[in-house]
Amino acid sequence: MKRISIIIPAYNEEKNIVRVIADVLEKLEGISSRYDIELVVVDDGSKDATPRLVMDLAKKDPRIKYIQFTRNFGKETALTAGIMSASGDAVVMIDADGQHPPELIADFITTWEAGSKVVVGVRNSHRGESPVKRIGSYFFYKLMSATSETEMVPYSTDFRLLDRDVVESFKLLEER
Ligand code: UDP
Ligand code: MG
């Protein structure tokens, strides 16, 4: 059976983490007969109850793996640690604060099964974003696509799926 790894970076998420983990697992119930599910929660040096809450869940549920940093290293490092330890044929990363809708993971998987090696969540609403940030992102994407050969998808997020091939290529990169 193919395995799906879900990576959740968490920094001071005591208010959200239990609900988000439950929500992710619930939204994956529909595919759990077809895939092995592995959740890799990376605690990025939280100073609140996040580590204890996740450890308690991990003790009860063998699908939940847990990595704890000694201090805060930042989300990118937390995601990298999660990717390094994930064993899935596909690796999905999702935020711990409930801002990424977990019901989309099943769609990511369907798109992956149809042949996509990377599936990226794109924001379609900008609620709560200041006009300055909106205009800033608009020009950022304009400038990036004008100066780079790689196409950038505007408003893409790091709610995304990576195929195992992509994960292995990523692991070969040495820069941080
Ligand atoms: N996060 C992390 N380390 C940090 C900051 C954030 O692991 O130093 C996690 C955080 O818990 C959340 C995700 O990264 O799951 C996104 O963080 P945040 O909501 O602050 O970022 P934004 O929504 O602005 O992209
Ligand atoms: Mg957030």
- Whole-number Å distance, alpha carbon 97 to ligand 2 midpoint, is 6
- Whole-number Å distance, alpha carbon 100 to ligand 2 midpoint, is 8
What atom of ligand 1 comes closest to residue 11's alpha carbon?
A: 11
Is there an atom of ligand 1 within 6 Å of 123 CB? no
Tens digit of pLDDT per residue, the chain (176 long)? Answer: 999 999 999 999 999 999 999 999 999 999 999 999 999 999 999 999 999 999 999 999 999 999 999 999 999 999 999 999 999 999 999 999 999 999 999 999 999 999 999 999 998 876 677 888 888 878 887 887 888 887 777 788 999 999 999 999 999 998 87
Is there an atom of ligand 1 within 6 Å of 121 CB? no
Is there an atom of ligand 1 within 6 Å of 21 CB? no
CB within 8 Å of 160: residues ≥ 6 apart: 92, 93, 108, 118, 119, 120, 121
pLDDT in the model for residue 128: 73
pTM value surpassing 0.85: yes
Map 97-160 to HEC letters: CCCCCHHHHHHHHHHHHCCCCEEEEECCCCCCCCHHHHHHHHHHHHHHHHHCCCCCCCCEEEEE
What atom of ligand 1 comes closest to residue 74's alpha carbon?
A: 8
What atom of ligand 1 comes closest to residue 95's alpha carbon?
A: 15
Q: Which of 16, 19, 97, 129 to mutate to test the pocket of ligand 1 (most atoms within 8 A of CB)?
A: 97
pLDDT in the model for residue 59: 97
- Whole-number Å distance, alpha carbon 29 to ligand 1 midpoint, is 26
